[in-house]
Chain A
């Protein structure tokens, strides 16, 4: 006779676990626990056994016997054999099947310490993934690089995929001119993703993981799955999450406070430096920088700190979700309001997300999802060089005797003093009588960059089970956005006296359709087969129009008709790819897995007769512990889990559109190295130019082959885990524009040449040193990555390839065969022992030949994450270590050259003997005995573009990246309230530079954005922020 068993399933934290499968062993009869963890099941007799299983917990078997109530506490399963991951094309796989490395970040991790740019939350958490922020600008961009650079000439950004549909991560600020000569960090589009809507982020690091996405996946893929409605206790779950954070600049240059502006110790109120006399020695009536007579001078050492303000961020999100057997839905809304550390900079973002699925019949299911993001920002500052609007450069030349608060206060109340001789402006606009340098507050108040992005991405899918083992799914998705930018420069701005504004409209769309059939069949008791065959169409369109309007008649009226000159330019591109693909897996006894894939693409950007390319991959995964369960060490849980994996992949890829023909381009301007260009038409004449890149003749698809080996090991029931991967990637037949001598009339020829390789080791070690019965637990995770990047070869006869040139500062990012990308420039002349050779007449260093200063990439990176949990309290901190690589800092160079850096004031500026040697007439060397003529000359020479050597620093650092404390209020406390759960959190990000070899600035600063090759060049960056905040999350 049947009897009814009831009970409650609880977690190790003693809370009810919903959705646990309760099954009578050996049958298909079962039920699931309700929201509070309770269940009820009818069983035929008492001899049976109940099996309780749930992802993340160890499966428990309980003999029924005479019991009518069975309560059970599940044990967390650290080994987690059944973990699933979302791989290519929204296909869910068990992790153990995979023959390649995948890393996952759960959505819960992303919302505990929310960063407006979700990519930053990955920093230090995933081996082999490097995140670098460009600046502390609000909504600033972050570069992601997985397993090193794959291309000599284009960026190695991974592909972003949301719910099976690729999305854009463009930034449209990636021309070298835009970035180096006074650009604005406009952010990257992956920064639009809303952490609150993300269920998981999977990082597929190699090409094998992603052959099904097509070529773009060769740099790795970040697969994002958004949240869906979940079945809960109520019909509708309501989640509210609120964060408040403050941002302050992490590091500003340390300035000297003793010396006034001037030259060689002589006071000159109009100099933008600190090379004058000691401030204490200037007494009595003297003219200050405004031309006003004052009684002595005073130092204002906190000018940098006082200029930057505290930024505030509020993130509020609410979501409603629910599910039944027939369908699920989720609606989310998030509002982000942020003000930056630069006065007047702000960002607003509203995100709406809808995701709904419906089971139409037993065989037919449908799903649709839409995300709408609207981002507006205003007042993003300029960085780089060459315009007088660069905030950091202005600050780097601000004499310490100038009170920055006075500049701020004068902005709207200009000095009423009589205009002194030579005065061409007022304090509102400039900080010196010559009107050379802008008042930074004038820049932030009037010369503003604003943009609005309206973006929609989403898709719909229909899935039909033809038979229980054969399914057909169709999916259509798109991501499109318009971005409107306007950068205004007010009349009277130094450097742009007549005022100007630039309007920039960008439209980008990506469209993708997929049709795929999936077969899943058991061949016999040992073998199971899964196969996917699909077709994909992908189209990408970009449209852009710019209008530069110069010479305003009326101040601050930014209309086209008010400009004396309007120069329009536009751009359009479209590219199409058709692909067919297949993915076949064989599963032997659930411990040996074999997978082969293949794809053929037809691309519109390659020559018609050479536009088809095929690429295959193969991988194998072997779960040792399941194959040999009777081994002693396995039985005794010493080795709890062991998986070995290997794969090989080849990926072909196309190139940018419209590169095949000899083109004539209408010219908008003639230029030289200065910023004032001649605009066409001039004197009524328009102009054209022929292309500067010789088009290719026999272009082939470019190729990448890669392999990796890995092992995933868990010991002692999961208390110790090690996941290691060795990989090697070779990119060849790269389609690159090789610089040819300009004397050919062309600057480059497009060819299939060049090989670049990456090999490296990724290791993740997880340890649980303490775990007590009372619930205290300490987990530590170490993420290590060493990547060796090497340019294997270039075009025949080519000895080097300059990827990015900071030429004005005497530095180049260069690729040379047999080396990695390195920063090069003129070094100091040295004797055979490496001592710097000093000029015996000046006591100064002598420039020598060009040399390699070092790699732009680190030798290795390490992330150390420690988390402690006890009774709902979670304490977590993340330390991020980078070792090796070099960076060039122009900000350091400027503050030193201008005599404002603290180190320029040491020892009362007594001239000293620079350690080095002097060349004797007979060619031998003697120690230098000639002191420098003045400290000013010493530092000025180091700042000069003659040699950048002294502005190159070891890029190693150790940073406290993140600290957070989260507390889940016990269920018992809130059981009588309408709340389902309440969680509190305190978070801090980018908190502390524990060690760094770069003075004055954050060693992570970088002026090059996401689109450019090369890193390690800094100039005029907005300092990065230290963020502290709190978070409150509750559900109803």
Chain B
């Protein structure tokens, strides 16, 4: 089998999990969106029963198939180095994501069928391992040769220059998730910023495209279409996010949300985590659930905001003035991508406070969180790393009736793994912080 065919399957499956199964429970558990008690999923219970297949499918359908593809690509003559690189980059992405959701995960012994009971590697080792994977991949990239191309490369159509940019940006994202627990990563971030060659325009963004054809639509659209007759009635406006927007006088409110059917025009009523919806409750805007919206794996605005953070934290040179500029550029891209008018955007961006040593943590984290509004996986990582425990931005409290005292900080290992792999760590609760979460 051509590795390209395995790659398209692995990437489609990976994107589907990101955009569907991992989106809703995580967005609800983390108060990014509200459930209003509507979806049969108890938001305050940190109910993980709706994340059933992501763990297994990531290993069997994504990572295993990428491993097999790498093996095939390495055994063909001449070796298809670019294909190996593309597979390794996607693997690094998948391992990092899985670790940031679950913590310690099988990495070194995983997804190759050789070890029956893969050991669970420490999160720190997994994340360092993904960085090593990315370095290997970057080393293999040959801009003059072809790897996996269109149509099987559903992200970049075989443009290896863009793959290299994404690999570097992803590396930076992983480093940022580590730097609070491992301060040495600051220097690595600085080197990356200095080296450039990261995502530098919207055209470089890592996107998995969906199409307005049956069976190829963004599943966020299909969900509403299939279960609710096209009427969005499941994802509500969550109070912590809404309060943040209000406090910032943020023009994104009508872009993020739509009023409830019985609410007045422009009347947005947010729900707390244990509140039951009414016909007046505001909902996540249908415009964000369109059938042909791509799944965003890495955006240009995210890149700019990371660079702003790198500068503000002193990992890269330039001082707060440069950091402020980067932040404003990032917020601008974020808002334009949402469809906010240029005039509103510019006014808002100009009014953003200049970053200082005292405010940068909050101001920047607020914007980074809002930038990830439709990307709950990254949004959750952002929230956990935005401050020490209890000091996250935006502020959130444990919902009444939650099974643990704190906010949810990890997913629990699936029973299939617990029951079949004696190496599965035990004794963890939903609010046990992960290694990176300081």
Contact of A494 among B57, B152, B229, B420 (CB under 8 A): B229
For window 913-953 of chain A, which residues contact chain B by CB distance below 8 Å? 944-946
> Measured between C-beta atoms, what is the minimum distance from A662 to chain B in Å?
9
Please name all residues of chain B whose beta carbon is closer than 8 Å to the beta carbon of A672 when the two chains form the complex. 16-17, 20-21, 53-54, 57, 219
Structural contact, A807 and B52, CB atoms closer than 8 A:
yes
CB pair A685 B151 closer than 8 Å: yes
Q: Is B226 an interface residue (CB 8 A)?
A: yes
The reply to whether B1 and A664 contact each other, CB–CB distance below 8 Å, is: yes
Contact with A along B212-223 (1 / 0, CB 8 A): 011111010011
Does B288 sit within 8 A of A, measured CB to CB?
no
User: For the complex, what is the distance from the CA of A430 to the CA of B151, rounded to whole Å?
Assistant: 40
| A564 pairs with B227, CB closer than 8 A | no
Closest 3 CB pairs of A and B: A745-B64, A687-B9, A679-B215
Task: Indicate if the CB atoms of B16 and A671 lie closer than 8 Å.
Answer: yes
- What 1/0 flags go to A524-568 for Cβ under 8 Å of B? 000000000000000000000000001100000000000011010
- Decide if A798 touches B151 in the complex (CB within 8 Å): no
Q: List 15 A-B contacts (CB under 8 A).
A: A430-B229, A435-B228, A497-B226, A671-B53, A675-B226, A677-B215, A683-B151, A683-B209, A685-B154, A687-B12, A688-B5, A689-B65, A690-B1, A742-B60, A745-B110
Q: Which of B106, B420, B422, B424 has the most CB of A within 10 A?
A: B420
The residue on B at minimum CB distance from A814 is: B419
Q: How far is the CB of B217 from the nearest CB of chain A, in Å?
A: 8
Contact partner, A749, options B110, B116, B211, Cβ 8 Å: B116
Interface residue? A181 (CB, 8 A): no
Min CB distance, B329 to chain A, in Å?
31
- Closest Cβ of chain A: how far from B334's Cβ, in Å? 26
A side interface size, CB within 8 A: 73
Complex: A850 Cα to B115 Cα, angstroms: 28
Q: Is A670's CB under 8 angstroms from B13's CB?
A: yes
* Contact assessment for A435 and B416 in the assembled complex, using a CB-CB cutoff below 8 Å: no
Q: B56–A747 contact, CB under 8 A? A: yes
Q: Complex: how many Å from CA A500 to CA B419?
A: 39
Find out whether the CB atom of B65 lies under 8 angstroms from the CB atom of A744.
no
Residue-by-residue, is B140-181 near A (CB-CB < 8 Å gives 1, otherwise 0)? 000000000011101000000000000000000000000000
A690 touching B226, Cβ below 8 Å: no
* Nearest Cβ on chain A to B383's Cβ, whole angstroms: 23
User: Interface segment, B43-51, B316-324, B338-346?
Assistant: B43-51
A571 within 8 A of B: no
Closest to B227 in A: A495
B67–chain A nearest beta-carbon distance, Å? 7
Report the Cα distance A799→B213, complex, angstroms: 45
Name the segment of A149-157, A203-211, A419-427, A717-725 touching the other chain. A419-427
Cβ of B233 within 8 Å of any chain A Cβ, yes or no, is: yes
CB-contact partner of B419 in A435, A683, A802, under 8 A? A802
With A497-B225, A674-B223, A800-B419 known to touch, is A810 a contact of B16 (CB < 8 Å)? no
Q: Specify which of B8, B60, B216 is in contact with A747 (CB 8 Å cutoff).
A: B60
Task: Render A662-694 as a binary contact track against B, CB cut-off 8 A, 1 for contact.
Answer: 001001011111111111111111111110101
Give the A-B contact count at a CB cut-off of 8 A: 217
Q: A interface, by DSSP: helix, strand, loop or mixed?
A: loop
A sample of 10 more A-B contacts (CB under 8 A), given A672-B53, A676-B226, A744-B112, is: A422-B261, A495-B226, A550-B215, A565-B213, A672-B20, A673-B21, A678-B219, A742-B416, A746-B113, A797-B422
For B154, list chain A residues within 8 Å (CB). Answer: 682-683, 685
Q: Quick check: is A1010 within 8 A (CB to CB) of the other chain? A: no
**Residues of chain A whose beta carbon lies under 8 Å from any beta carbon of chain B:** 263-264, 388, 421-422, 424-425, 430, 434-436, 494-498, 500, 550-551, 564-565, 567, 664, 667, 669-690, 692, 694, 739-747, 749, 797-800, 802, 807-808, 810, 841-842, 847, 850, 944-946
Instruction: Decide: B55 and A742 in contact? CB cutoff 8 A.
Output: yes
Q: What is the CB-to-nearest-CB distance from B127 to chain A, in angstroms, rounded to a whole number?
A: 17
Q: Which residues of A contact B8 (CB under 8 A)?
A: 680, 682, 685-687
With contact pairs A797-B117, A944-B42 given, residues A678 and B21 touching in the complex (Cβ less than 8 Å)? no
Residue contact A742 to B151, C-beta cutoff 8 Å: no
Residues of A within 8 Å of B228, CB to CB, are: 434-436, 494
The answer, yes or no, to whether B231 is at the interface (CB within 8 Å) is yes
Q: Please, how many angstroms separate the alpha-carbon atoms of A810 and B52 in the complex?
A: 11
Pairwise interchain contact A678-B216, C-beta atoms closer than 8 A: yes
B6 an interface residue at 8 Å Cβ cutoff? yes
Beyond A436-B228, A670-B16, A684-B151, whether A739 also contacts B416 by CB under 8 A is yes
Specify the chain B residue showing the minimal Cβ separation from A268. Answer: B279
Q: Is the CB of B9 within 8 A of A670?
A: yes
B211 and A683 contact, CB distance less than 8 A: yes
Specify the chain B residue showing the minimal Cβ separation from A796.
B116
Q: Are A424 and B231 in contact (CB under 8 A)?
A: yes
User: In this complex, which of A495, A687, A692 has the most chain B Cβ atoms within 10 angstroms of its Cβ?
Assistant: A687
Q: Which residues of B contact A682 (CB under 8 A)?
A: 8, 12, 154, 211, 215-216
Q: Is the CB of B233 within 8 A of A436?
A: yes
Contacting residues, chain B, for A671 (C-beta < 8 A): 16, 53
Least CB distance, B253 to chain A, in whole angstroms: 22
A500 to B16, CA, bound (A): 22
Q: Which residues from B are CB-within-8-Å of A565?
A: 213-216
- Given contacts A551-B213, A673-B52, A798-B420, A745 and B60 within 8 Å (CB-CB): yes
Which residues from chain A contact B68 at a C-beta distance below 8 Å? 690
A264 to B5, CA, bound (A): 53
B67 touches A745 (CB 8 A): yes
C-alpha spacing A674/B228, complex, angstroms: 14
Q: How far is the CA of A193 from the CA of B321 in the complex (A)?
A: 85
Assembled-state Cα–Cα distance A496/B68 (Å): 36
Residues on A with beta carbons closer than 8 Å to the beta carbon of B60: 692, 742, 745-747
B139 in the interface (beta carbon within 8 A): no
Most interface-central of A422, A743, A798 (chain B CB within 10 A): A743
**B417 interface residue per 8 A CB criterion:** yes
Kindly state whether residue B135 has any CB partner on chain A within 8 Å: no
A421 to chain B, nearest CB (A): 6
Contacts of A744 in B (CB 8 A): 59, 110-113, 115-116, 118
Contact of B106 among A421, A739, A743, A842 (CB under 8 A): A743
A500 and B225 alpha carbons, distance in the complex (Å): 14
Question: How many Å from the CB of B313 to the closest CB on chain A?
Answer: 35
Q: Which of B6, B226, B417 contacts A688, CB < 8 Å?
A: B6
Residues in chain B near residue A550, CB distance under 8 A: 214-215
Which B residues touch A678, using CB under 8 A?
A: 12, 16, 215-216, 219
> How close is A566's CB to chain B, nearest CB, in angstroms?
10
B194 CB–A CB distance under 8 Å: no
B389 close to chain A: CB less than 8 A: no
Q: Give B381-400 as 1s and 0s: 1 = Cβ < 8 Å from A's Cβ atoms.
A: 00000000000000000001
For B416, list chain A residues within 8 Å (CB).
Answer: 739, 741-742, 802
Nearest-Cβ distance from residue B287 to partner chain A, whole angstroms: 18
